[in-house]
A and B are shown apart, each in its own frame.
Chain A
């Protein structure tokens, strides 16, 4: 613990962190707590059969989405895989629309058409929410390509898990990112397991997964993900590289998920020991680490923490009520949102038959 705090104080001295005022620090706390409470409530309703499909929980990894996204500006865009609730809330999506999406309701962020793995908010530079492992990585460089093509100073933060690094699409995107000098930051959220298979059993690597970037000449860094100061300091360097040089970075952040791969992961406690989970919760919980840090800095009191926590719980409960009370989409809406031209009733949308059911 002592060493850990010593490390943290180093990153606390990073310029990007020195710029944080008390209010901003507390916002980071609040953002992480909101993600955790949102997901705890969603788990409760999932277990009560209020939702279908999968629920991939982000609990334990909150510092990564919150820390990285806290640095994003007007032209920085975000895309991730299926463990996407944390990033959604971090970019500013509301709990109501997110919870309603999990319930499959018409008031959901995707009108009940995407589900847990497919949250989007392009107005907040959030491009999903993608279900196929590493399938979002070519899209991630596409966002970077678009930013550069339009002559903007920005970046694409392309999140992926440690299981995604063995997919071909990821490697193809790495080659293009470096070849074409694209302002993309790959953020590998390494929680140690690709579903139930540990990193050792799934990946050939030397030192770290990010080090694979060397083969492409891409700058890389691996770091601890549970401490927001460190996450922000490392992300800032990558953002500067993207903004100033249009160059990619691979940033691998060590983290841990407390729940299974998804709630449907029947072996969540079999491929790892209960002690391992407890060890992470006790020593590296991102909420606790940040809370202790802020209390040490005199920015946060136990009382104000409890108030933030209570507000987050209440917000999540209200979101569940909103979702429960919302209507499901109508059958007639199944074929909406398939074609732009049809939805907008344009000339092109009225030409020929687009749908073939009776």
Chain B
């Protein structure tokens, strides 16, 4: 089995080999081997030109990567925490997302910005943001949030080969989690961005999630089956934009119930968009209102036992499903 972090490492290593224009830049990605060891060994193998340690200067080096991508370099930029995107926001929105549009399609930015975007590690509000909804709100950007090692590998390779800016949100809790590990074949493969996957088939309710919430939903589905006799289906969005609405709707049409599991804050979170789609496209197929399990609506709390309650967990998902009646 390959761990999530090792799957990412393999994808990066292979794409460095496949394309001379790929360069990895970020804080501690080279000599330190990556703060979370995602880039472990890559500097040693590929050297100073291809794997570059950046100073703590996100607006500067992310903006630099965007500029370089306009000339055809394919930078894969690591944010040690995706929360640090907020100091590079102008570059990531006004420049990366808008330059193609404002140039009437003359310029494109084949850049990947990657890093962990999650709560649950007791690092307080500043380091626990889940900005997939913020970035997916911006046309011109693609947002990928993989939940397993296999998806992380296949989607990272597609992200690097994509000619639009892709913001790739990982999860510190998944990097070494055996539950997120996958069997990877020896031969290379890619997974398309914009394709959801049914991670567990069921008939009674659709649990729709992305990122680590998929694992929470899978665990909840197991408990619902064993303890309540409810057969839940789990849909993994895998990417937020582009969004695979077909897979979502097929599932809801089949189960007639939907509970959305989303680590975002509820207001304008990813699940708010999914709920709007379901009510518009599958209204007649619904036997109950679409319900959501999101983070409790406050900045991320530090206190370890309470943070477990703030973000979606198995207990809250089971409880919400049982509210459907």
Which of A168-176, A222-230, A263-271, A283-291 is near enough to bind chain B? A168-176
Q: Is A110 an interface residue (CB 8 A)?
A: yes
The minimal Cβ–Cβ distance linking B114 to chain A, given in whole angstroms, is 17
Whose C-beta in chain B lies nearest to the C-beta of A79? Answer: B67
User: A142-B65, A147-B71, A176-B64 known; 15 other A-B pairs, CB under 8 Å?
Assistant: A114-B104, A138-B62, A139-B66, A140-B67, A141-B67, A142-B63, A142-B71, A146-B71, A149-B49, A176-B61, A335-B139, A338-B100, A343-B105, A352-B239, A352-B242
Q: Is A337 an interface residue (CB 8 A)?
A: yes
Q: Is A111 an interface residue (CB 8 A)?
A: yes
A173, A338, A348: the one within 8 Å of B192 (CB): A348
Contact A149 B68 (CB under 8 A): yes
A129-153 contact mask (Cβ, 8 Å, vs B): 1 or 0: 1111001011111110111011000
Indicate the size class of the contact surface on chain A: 35 or more
Residues of B within 8 A of A131 (CB): 94
Whose C-beta in chain B lies nearest to the C-beta of A348? Answer: B162
Known contacts A128-B102, A142-B64; A338 and B90 CB within 8 A of each other: no
Residues of B within 8 A of A341 (CB): 162-164
Whose C-beta in chain A lies nearest to the C-beta of B241? Answer: A354
The minimal Cβ–Cβ distance linking A262 to chain B, given in whole angstroms, is 18
Contact A145 B73 (CB under 8 A): yes
6 A-B residue pairs with CB within 8 Å? A141-B64, A143-B68, A146-B72, A169-B63, A176-B55, A337-B104
A residues 268-326 in Cβ contact with B at 8 Å: none
A206-245 contact mask (Cβ, 8 Å, vs B): 1 or 0: 0000000000000000000000000000000000000000
**Docked pose: A338 CA to B49 CA in angstroms:** 31
Residues of A within 8 A of B140 (CB): 338-339
B55, B142, B245: the one within 8 Å of A179 (CB): B55
Residues of A within 8 A of B72 (CB): 146, 150
Which of A2-10, A117-125, A248-256 is near enough to bind chain B? A117-125
Whose C-beta in chain A lies nearest to the C-beta of B63? Answer: A138
| B contacts, CB < 8 Å to A | 23, 49, 54-55, 57, 59-73, 90-91, 94-95, 99-108, 110, 139-140, 142, 158, 162-164, 192-196, 239, 241-245, 273
Q: Is A49 an interface residue (CB 8 A)?
A: no
Contact B55 A175 (CB under 8 A): yes
Residues of A within 8 A of B239 (CB): 352
- The winner among B106, B241, B245 for most chain A CB atoms within 10 A is B106
Residues of A within 8 A of B193 (CB): 348, 351-352
**Docked pose: A128 CA to B89 CA in angstroms:** 19
A329-355 contact mask (Cβ, 8 Å, vs B): 1 or 0: 000000111111101100110011111
Residues of B within 8 A of A338 (CB): 100-101, 139-140
Whose C-beta in chain B lies nearest to the C-beta of A343? Answer: B105
The minimal Cβ–Cβ distance linking A348 to chain B, given in whole angstroms, is 6
**Docked pose: A61 CA to B194 CA in angstroms:** 48
Q: Is A60 an interface residue (CB 8 A)?
A: no
Whose C-beta in chain B lies nearest to the C-beta of A125? Answer: B71
Known contacts A130-B95, A150-B71; A351 and B242 CB within 8 A of each other: yes
Contact B100 A122 (CB under 8 A): no
Known contacts A139-B70, A143-B70, A356-B273; A120 and B59 CB within 8 A of each other: no
B61, B158, B163, B194: the one within 8 Å of A340 (CB): B163
Whose C-beta in chain A lies nearest to the C-beta of B60? Answer: A172
Whose C-beta in chain B lies nearest to the C-beta of A347? Answer: B192
Residues of B within 8 A of A145 (CB): 64, 67-68, 73
**Docked pose: A131 CA to B101 CA in angstroms:** 14
Contact A142 B107 (CB under 8 A): no
Known contacts A142-B63, A338-B139, A341-B162; A135 and B104 CB within 8 A of each other: no
Q: Is A109 an interface residue (CB 8 A)?
A: yes
